[in-house]
């Protein structure tokens, strides 16, 4: 735009020069015409006079030549003038075009443009500049000054605010219509001024929005910070109105939240706390922090600190110091009790600082030295001890100040001048760096004790002879008693050996049962897997009935063996609880889902009430207790409903199982926990049980130290409960809500599962069962057997199942690690074992594997596999 302006100025200067040259040529042409006319007149006038004809001719020839020369010059000048006129016309046309282009260029600028001359009058401007001043009464036109424009803008109220930026050539102003403009100016070569007005309204709006967003975020952050303070906070502005508060403030002051949201005056809110209000107003007036305490009617003590703000108003903090106040009261009471005890101890007690001044003396000490009560505090010990006594005491005091406990005897006269023997003990008081701060002094009058000791020594000498005489008499009797004692000791020793032998035999029996649990359950586990797989096959009704009968019989045998093994393990003391903190909902939901179908098969309705409490226990042992409760409830309930839920108690969470069954007679409540004791059924068709479930519950509750409670109304129902202590708070996390069971079980379809078990029957049974669920199963007796059948590195797999006890001293953990090391990705691992050892549980948990104890129940296995595949999909 500046180049176009310069070209226009240059073209304008060329046009002026051409005009001036044309005027000069016209003057010269007019002059030549006058000369020509004069010459013609002379020739015409000369012809009438009689003259020399030749001279006249000569003169006419000269004149003709001069006229011809002048005519040629005039023609040349006219030709130059025409050419100049054409150039001038072209220049004017180019100047007009350039001027129009300049105007078009200025109008096309997105900013408002204005050009001022050296006197700051408007020379040129575009439409956008005039649009800015639409609300000014005077029309913006050429010749008006910049000062007139600003004056008109201020007078009309169009210019609302003006800001000068860091640069002297830049200024920002806001119009009354809300628009913002940035004015940038630059001087021209001739002393003029070019000014651009840039519309920055959108930029200002974005800046305002950003500031408002930042302010909003800061406000939210401030409110969140205030809400999470343990203290109550209330901010009162300079008008005395409550601006900011938190829930702790409402809780401590008793103000309703709805009342606070109306933002009433602070004085109206604190009518019931006049003391706090007065201190707050005093602090705001004085401009310093003021603290006060307020005792509430409910016994709470609240400390209120008022912090005045520079801009007016104040901030109040409310702290519940009830415990601190009670602790201070307790300290004062303790001090009074200590002083009371010290005053009533029959010994002289004092505390001497490093500067040898008394800091504490009890009543006996003051009375011994004849001093008024408390008069010695702050005095030097030389006030009650003369120079001779100090000479004796100083070495002991110096040893005590060196950190040594010193006890010595010293003779001192009492108030009546009687010499008494005192036993003095100096105990140093050391700080954290073992530097002495002073010493405790305890003095006891042992005069009477020494005298009594002397008398006892004399009496001892007299009694010694009598003792010798009686000793000879008792020696004979002792010999007879010793013979009797030896005989009794021999009998007791034989009884003890017999008892230990019986205990060893019983312990050996129980440990044997616990040790062979794996071998007992291994073939039974295989039979259960085969029958479960057979049940899911299509067959005739008669055959299916027989298969169900076999399955039920195996289930009874499994239940009997598992129960006997569990009782043996509990009796042998090999079951050590693995106590951890966990959410009770994780345990109860699985148990409720497991027993809901069992209850439905018996025509019962099982309800479950969830709970988010955290408890501390062994989850598997606790689950065994609850499963026995639910099994008994289903067994002894003919119709109605069963409820599984929790109740919060002061010392723990009570897990309860309610039923609407037969109930338990009051005389049978303790008997049901005995082995092989069971109530008589009032209806038939249900499993009668073995009478060992509640016996196991009793033993497990003793191992876990969880109390068991039973309440029952005969004919109406029963409630069995176990009380579990609360656990440590766990990190919060969103609970996984999986799909419904039928949808979840679809995850087993085409699931690729590898199984490692050293028992061929188990492998065959697991393959048959899992294949019936739609899984693609590969079984192996060992890792070498697995690698011989497939290539783990290239064969896709979703899950690995391994038995812990394998051949040749190998175990499932090592096998799982070896298999996983061959894979390019991590897969879930299910470890199956009959070992209930706590150390094994911890090892499997640390590796991130899932654990399932034998015998394996098909429904539980299906649920576990579905859950593991679901979690794997979520991780992927």
Higher pLDDT, 30 or 642: 642
Is the pLDDT score of 173 beyond 70? yes
When mean pLDDT is compared over 71-80, 198-207, 316-325, 847-856, the highest value belongs to 847-856
Pairing, β 170-175 against β 159-164: antiparallel
Alpha-carbon gap, residue 164 to 731, rounded angstroms: 55
Across the range 398-421, mean pLDDT stands at 86
Cis amide bond preceding 855, omega within 30: yes
Q: What is the DSSP string of 385-440?
A: S-HHHHHHHHHHHHHHHTT--EEEEEEEE-TTS-EEEEEEEEEEEE-TTS-EEEEE
Give CA separation, 573 vs 324, 508, 559, 570, 618, in Å: 48, 12, 21, 5, 16
- Alpha-carbon torsion angle 693, 699, 700, 705, nearest 10: 140
CA–CA distance, 656 with 644 (Å, rounded to integer): 6
**Centroid of chain to Cα 12:** 77
CB atoms within 10 A of CB 32: 15
Q: pLDDT digits over 320-366, tens only?
A: 777 777 777 777 777 777 777 767 777 888 889 888 899 888 888 88
* pLDDT tier for residue 865 given thresholds of 50, 70 and 90: confident
| Sign of the four-CA dihedral 522, 528, 533, 539 | positive
3-state secondary structure of 234: strand
Q: What is the pLDDT of residues 814-835, one digit of tens each?
A: 999 999 999 888 889 999 987 7
DSSP one-letter code for 302:
E
Collapse the DSSP code of 325 into the 3-class scheme (helix H, G, I; strand E, B; otherwise coil) and give the result: helix
d(CA 716, CA 709): 17
Instruction: Average the pLDDT over each of 178-187, 465-474, 507-516 and give the range with the smallest value.
Output: 507-516
Please classify residue 788 by burial: count the beta carbons closer than 10 Å to its beta carbon, then call 0-12 exposed, 13-18 middle and 19+ buried.
exposed
Report the percent of the chain where pLDDT is more than 90. 4
**Which residues fall within 8 angstroms of residue 539, CB to CB, at 6 or more apart?**
547
Q: What is the mean pLDDT of the chain?
A: 76
pLDDT value of position 734:
43
Mean pLDDT in residue range 109-124:
79
Q: Which helix (H) or strand (E) holds 720?
A: strand 717-724
Within 10 angstroms of residue 297's Cβ, the number of other Cβ atoms is: 7
DSSP 799: E
Q: What is the pLDDT of residues 147-170, one digit of tens each?
A: 777 777 776 666 766 766 554 556
Edge-to-edge strand list for the sheet holding 290-295: 242-245, 232-236, 314-320, 301-308, 290-295
Taking 60 as the threshold, does the pLDDT of residue 556 lie above it? no
pLDDT of residue 684: 44
Low-confidence winner among 555-559, 584-588, 695-699 (lowest mean pLDDT): 555-559
Q: Are 347 and 443 in contact (CB under 8 A)?
A: yes
- Candidate ranges 126-140, 642-656, 723-737; pick with highest mean pLDDT: 642-656
- Residues 731-755: pLDDT tens digits? 554 443 344 445 555 678 888 999 9
| Helices assigned H by DSSP within 109-133 | 127-132
Q: Is residue 876 very low, low, confident or very high in pLDDT (cuts 50, 70, 90)?
A: low
pLDDT digits (tens, 9 = 90+) for 59-108: 777 777 777 777 777 778 778 777 777 777 777 777 777 777 777 777 67
512 or 759, higher pLDDT: 759
- The 3-class SS string of 518-547 reads HHHHHHHHHHHHHHHHHHCCCCCHHHHHHH
Range with lowest mean pLDDT among 330-344, 465-479, 750-764, 848-862: 330-344
On the 0-12 / 13-18 / 19+ scale of CB atoms within 10 A, 164 is exposed
Categorize the per-residue pLDDT at 627 as very low, low, confident or very high, splitting at 50, 70 and 90.
Answer: confident
Residue by residue, DSSP assigns 726-751 as B-PPPPP-PPP----HHHHHGGGTT-
CA atoms within 13 A on the CB side of 732: 0
pLDDT at 755: 92
Helices (H), 602-636: 619-635
Q: What is the mean pLDDT of residues 2-29?
A: 62
pTM: 0.32
Residue 801 has pLDDT above 90, yes or no: yes
Q: Are strands 641-648 and 605-608 parallel, antiparallel or unpaired?
A: parallel
Q: Which of 675, 668, 677 is nearest to 710 (CA)?
A: 668
């Amino acid at each position: 735009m500046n180049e176009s302006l310069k070209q226009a100025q240059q073209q304008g200067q060329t046009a002026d020069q051409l005009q001036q040259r044309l005027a000069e040529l016209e003057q010269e042409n007019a002059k030549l015409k006058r000369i020509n006319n004069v010459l013609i007149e002379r020739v015409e006038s000369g012809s009438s006079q009689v003259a020399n004809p030749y001279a006249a001719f000569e003169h006419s020839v000269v004149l003709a030549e001069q006229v011809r020369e002048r005519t040629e010059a005039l023609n040349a000048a006219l030709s130059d003038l025409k050419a100049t006129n054409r150039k001038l016309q072209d220049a004017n046309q180019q100047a007009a075009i350039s001027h129009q282009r300049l105007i078009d260029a200025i109008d096309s600028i997105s900013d408002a443009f204005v050009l001022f001359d050296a006197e700051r009058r408007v020379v040129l401007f575009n439409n956008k500049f005039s649009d800015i001043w639409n609300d000014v009464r005077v029309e913006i036109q050429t010749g008006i000054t910049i000062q007139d424009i600003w004056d008109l803008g201020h007078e009309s109220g169009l210019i609302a605010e003006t800001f000068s930026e860091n640069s002297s050539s830049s200024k920002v102003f806001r119009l009354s219509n809300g628009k913002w403009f940035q004015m940038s100016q630059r001087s021209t070569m001739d002393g003029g001024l070019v000014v651009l007005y840039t519309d920055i309204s959108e930029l200002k709006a974005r800046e305002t929005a950003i500031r408002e967003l930042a302010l909003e975020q800061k406000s939210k952050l401030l409110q969140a910070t205030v809400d999470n303070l343990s203290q109550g906070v209330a901010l009162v502005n300079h008008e005395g109105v409550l601006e900011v508060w938190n829930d702790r403030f409402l809780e401590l002051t008793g103000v309703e939240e709805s009342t606070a949201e109306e933002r009433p005056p602070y004085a109206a809110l604190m009518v019931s706390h006049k003391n706090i209000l007065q201190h707050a107003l005093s602090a705001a007036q004085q401009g310093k922090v003021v603290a006060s305490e307020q005792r509430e009617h409910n016994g709470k003590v609240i400390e209120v600190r008022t912090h005045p703000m520079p801009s007016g108003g104040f901030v109040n903090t409310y702290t519940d110091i009830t415990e601190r106040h009670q602790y201070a009261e307790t300290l004062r009471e303790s001090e009074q009790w200590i002083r009371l005890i010290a005053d009533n101890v029959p010994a002289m007690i004092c505390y001497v600082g490093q500067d040898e001044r008394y800091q504490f003396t009890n009543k006996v000490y003051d009375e011994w030295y004849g001093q008024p009560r408390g008069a010695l505090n702050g005095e030097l010990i030389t006030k009650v001890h003369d120079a001779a006594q100090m000479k004796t005491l100083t070495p002991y005091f110096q040893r005590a100040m060196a950190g040594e406990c010193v006890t010595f005897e010293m003779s001192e006269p009492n108030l009546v001048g009687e010499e008494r023997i005192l036993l003095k003990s100096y105990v140093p008081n050391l700080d954290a760096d073992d530097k002495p701060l002073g010493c405790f002094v305890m003095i006891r009058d042992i005069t009477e004790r020494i005298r009594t000791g002397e008398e006892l020594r004399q009496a001892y000498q007299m009694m010694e002879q009598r003792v010798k005489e009686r000793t000879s008499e008792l020696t004979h009797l002792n010999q007879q008693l010793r013979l009797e004692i030896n005989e009794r000791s021999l009998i007791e020793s034989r009884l003890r050996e017999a008892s230990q032998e019986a205990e060893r035999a019983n312990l050996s029996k129980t440990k044997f049962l616990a040790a062979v649990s794996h071998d007992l359950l291994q073939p039974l586990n295989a039979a259960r897997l085969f029958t479960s797989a057979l049940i899911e096959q299509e067959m005739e009704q008669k055959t299916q009935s027989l298969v169900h009968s076999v399955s039920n019989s195996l289930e009874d045998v499994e239940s009997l063996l598992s129960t006997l093994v569990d009782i043996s393990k509990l009796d042998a003391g090999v079951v050590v609880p693995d106590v951890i903190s966990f959410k009770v909902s994780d345990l109860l939901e699985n148990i409720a889902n497991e027993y809901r179908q069992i209850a439905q098969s018996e025509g019962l309705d099982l309800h479950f009430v969830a709970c988010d409490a955290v408890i501390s226990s062994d989850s598997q042992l606790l689950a065994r207790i609850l499963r026995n409760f639910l099994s008994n409830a289903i067994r002894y309930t003919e119709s109605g409903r069963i409820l599984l839920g929790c109740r919060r108690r002061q010392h723990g969470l009570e897990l309860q199982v309610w039923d609407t069954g037969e109930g338990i007679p009051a005389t049978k409540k303790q008997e049901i926990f005995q082995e092989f004791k069971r109530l008589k059924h009032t209806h038939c068709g249900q499993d009668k049980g073995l009478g060992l479930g509640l016996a196991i519950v009793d033993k497990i509750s003793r191992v876990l130290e969880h109390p068991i409670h039973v309440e029952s109304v005969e004919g109406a129902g029963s409630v069995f409960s176990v009380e579990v202590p609360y656990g440590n708070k766990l990190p919060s996390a969103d609970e996984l809500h999986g799909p419904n069971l039928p949808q979840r079980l679809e995850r087993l379809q085409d699931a690729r599962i590898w199984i490692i078990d050293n028992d061929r029957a188990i492998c065959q049974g697991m393959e048959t069962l899992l294949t019936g669920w739609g899984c693609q199963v590969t079984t192996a007796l060992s890792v070498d057997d697995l690698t011989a059948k497939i290539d783990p590195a290239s064969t896709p797999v979703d899950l690995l199942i391994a038995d812990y006890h394998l051949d040749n001293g190998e175990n499932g953990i090592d096998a799982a690690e070896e298999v996983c090391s061959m894979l390019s990705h991590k897969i879930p691992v299910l470890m199956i074992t009959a070992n209930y050892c706590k150390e094994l549980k911890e090892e499997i948990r640390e590796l991130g594997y899932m654990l399932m104890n034998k015998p394996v129940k098909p429904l539980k296995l299906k649920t576990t596999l579905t859950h593991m595949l679901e979690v794997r999909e979520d991780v992927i």
